[in-house]
Amino acid sequence: MTIDGLISEENMLLAEGPAISSRIRLARNIEQYSFPNWATKETKKEVWDLCIDAFTEMKETFVGVEMGTLSELDRDLLFEQHLISQELAGKDTGSGVFIAHNKTLTIMVNEEDHIRIQALHPGLDLKAAWKQADKLDDELEKRVTYAFSSKLGYLTSCPSNVGTGMRASVMLHLPGLVLMEEMEPVMNGISKIGLAVRGMWGEGTEAAGNMFQISNQITLGRSEKEIVEHLEQIVSELIEHEKNARERLLQDRTIIIKDQVARALGILSCARLITSSEALNFLSMLRLGYSLGVVKDFARNDLDKLFVAIQPAHLQKKRNKTMTSLDRDIFRADILRNFMDKNRLSEKNKLGIKNG
């Protein structure tokens, strides 16, 4: 598989309901080697080579790629697919990523830590993601010696990851809570119990399209099992809140919500240029309309794929050239109009959305 193969439109955002995907990330470092941000080029190269050897020995086929060999566009592409972090996208020779298992398993090398294992599963299934990450962790541990303290646990570049080195996170689509104006108290409550809320593309990104990542903050003094179970429990409660909010929206604000969905249909079907965040918000309304039964008869999977397919690097890769922001907005609008046309959503909507 080449990098171009990774850009097939498939991605993980293919679960029905509020829970989009579950992710486990394990931070690991190799004993005797400086952490990447303090390491020399040579040290980083040695770590990279150790990883190549380890992954080559494994049964699983990994596609490995060094950041230095990729164009800026291809790095952005991997980032938009949630395969690498923004930090890794900015790195060079000696830093890279190994990808396997139909993109559910990725290992970033020489990002903030030597090794960052990531397993990504659709829907709310942190246990499955953990099992997969844990299995790879065991395989790797047979081949390299991790920096580990019997007192502290796994040692990491940033103290906030010391301990299990685990970050568990779930991507949630929460338009109901946003529209009912209940996200703020929910976010406050979540941060009080040691969890973090971030936007669709992680730290520092806005919650465009009403997508939120909920993750654990604490990695020390808690077992992996506890972290996973605690997050799963909280997220399950959040999903119930979201479902409840959606029901209330449909019952108490029927016409308002139908209007919002209908306007999203209208704009996605007609606009000649549209920004990424505006498009995400309208796609989010369409996804909500689908879950409420207000919009019907189209491939929701195709809709979900658009959340990633309309991102800047994906658009440019599709056109195979660098594009200005205005050109991207035009191309994005073209793609969205074609999607709406193909699914004849505007026409069906005349029947699908009833008055009252």
Interface with a copy of itself, residue 296, by CB under 8 A: no
Q: Pick from 271, 306, 308, 313: which binds a copy of itself (CB under 8 A)?
A: 271
CA distance 269 to 315: 18
CA quadruple 128, 134, 137, 138: dihedral sign: negative
Instruction: Return the range that interacts with a copy of itself (CB under 8 A); candidates 72-80, 98-106, 127-135, 252-260.
Output: 252-260
Helix (H/G/I), strand (E/B), else coil: 71: coil
CB of 126 to a copy of itself, least distance (A): 39
Tokens of 297: 């008869």
Which amino acid makes up residue 147?
A
Kindly tell me which residue out of 70, 267, 288, 306 binds a copy of itself, with binding defined by CB under 8 A. Answer: 267
Residue 233: CB atoms within 10 A of its CB come to 10
Stretch that binds a copy of itself, among 147-155, 182-190, 234-242, 253-261 (CB under 8 A): 253-261
Least distance (Å) from a copy of itself to the CB of residue 270?
A: 3
Contact 285, 306 (CB under 8 A): no
| Near a copy of itself by CB under 8 A: residue from 259, 277, 299, 322 | 259
Residues 311-340 that bind a copy of itself (CB under 8 A): 326, 330, 333-334
- Of 26 and 294, the one with the shorter C-beta distance to a copy of itself is 294
Number of Cβ within 10 Å of residue 234's Cβ equals 18
Q: Does 19 bind a copy of itself (CB under 8 A)?
A: no
Distances (CA, A) of 246 to 177, 182, 300, 301, 356: 8, 12, 18, 20, 17
Interaction pattern, residues 172-191, with a copy of itself; x per rule: CB under 8 A? --------------------
Alpha-carbon distance of 166 to 98, in angstroms, equals 19
The phi, psi pair for 177, rounded to 5°, reads -65, -35
Interacting residue with a copy of itself among 256, 277, 297, 342 (CB under 8 A): 256
> Smallest distance, Å, CB 183 to a copy of itself?
24
* Phi, psi for residue 162 in degrees, rounded to 5: -60, 145
Residues at the interface with a copy of itself (CB under 8 A): 255-256, 258-259, 262-263, 265-267, 269-273, 326, 330, 333-334, 341, 346, 349-350, 353, 355
